Amino acid sequence: MILIQDCPTRRCAVSGIIEVLIGIRFVQHDSLGKLSILINAMNFSERLLLYVQLTRLNRPIGILLLLWPTLWGVWIAGAGHPAWHIVLIFVLGTVLMRSAGCAINDYADRDFDKHVKRTKERPITSGRISPNEALWVAAFLACLALLLILPLNTLTLLLSIPAVLLAVSYPFTKRFFAIPQAYLGIAFGFGIPMAFAAQQNNVPSLAWLLLAANVFWAIAYDTEYAMVDRDDDIRIGIHSSALWFGKYDVAAVMACYAVTVALLAIAGLMIGAGALYFAGLILAEGIALYHYRLIRNRQREACFKAFLHNNWFGAAVFFSVALDYQARYW
């Protein structure tokens, strides 16, 4: 201390060292804070990615297969000019409920998925998301979907109850129901009667006819999907239409496509549809015939390609509806 007091140079040096040490301490503290924020951000982004995988938002084919029949109902119930807030509610509701359904499906199948190569790395099966967390995600998404329809009429709200029950119960039907794909068709098509209820405050026979058409379409495309997993389904002991139809699976798929188009043709006659509508149905049947070429040899990759290609079948039907109604106003 005497040396420091007696030597201004040394005093300056020591003061400088102290300032540097204090500065380092603050820099370290600031860096640790930034590092902690960065780690938390990384954890959040990784968690968000897991939720995307859980709800299949990274694989939109399921959303599209649910969305197209919903839009059939929305457009027909709205006579080709549905209110845009109705369109928005049903589009967002489709995304939310399909995502919730995927979370419930993975919860229900968690003991099966680990035995299947294609599904063993799903978030629940791989242990990256707990089963209870998946249920919370599903509940949150379902609540958001409910909030969307609160401004709609009472009949639509009442129909949302069986819609939710269908979505929740479908994954469990594979344990006891020979053709769970038929149940899936009801669940995926229940937006149709809801669309009529929301716009007409009534669910006419036309809505149930469209729902029936969707059931047969769902059996067709999901049987193609089940043909991919046939061996795994046999090994783990769950039901599917591909197993139930057996060697007649390809014929059954094509028959379901034919019934779908026939029911849609009857629906077209009921609404007084014109040439554009029926031209769209011919296009849809042509797409179904292309699927026959893909699935006739029962090769996994080709069957999965046919399943994915059903997006175009649903789109063909929707645009035939939309364009036919639009043509009436030209």
pLDDT, tens only, 272-313 = 999 999 999 999 999 999 999 999 999 999 999 999 999 999
CB atoms within 10 A of CB 298: 15
Predicted confidence band of residue 8 (pLDDT cuts 50, 70, 90) = very low
Say what the pTM is: 0.85
CB-CB contact of 189 with 210 (8 Å): yes
Give 166-169 contacts, CB < 8 A, sequence gap 24+.
166/190, 167/97, 167/100, 167/101, 167/104, 168/101, 168/104
pLDDT at 5: 41
Cα-Cα-Cα-Cα torsion 126, 127, 128, 131, nearest 10 degrees, comes to: 110
Predicted local distance difference test score (pLDDT) of residue 156:
97
Percentage of the chain beyond pLDDT 90 is 69
Confidence of residue 116 (pLDDT cuts 50, 70, 90): confident
Q: At what angle do helices 61-77 and 300-328 cross, to 10 degrees?
A: 20
Among candidates 134, 256, 130, which has minimal Cα distance to 184? 256
User: Is it true that domain 55-328 has CATH number 1.10.357.140?
Assistant: yes
Q: What is the pLDDT of residue 237?
A: 83
Q: How far apart, in whole angstroms, are the C-alpha atoms of residue 123 and residue 9?
A: 65
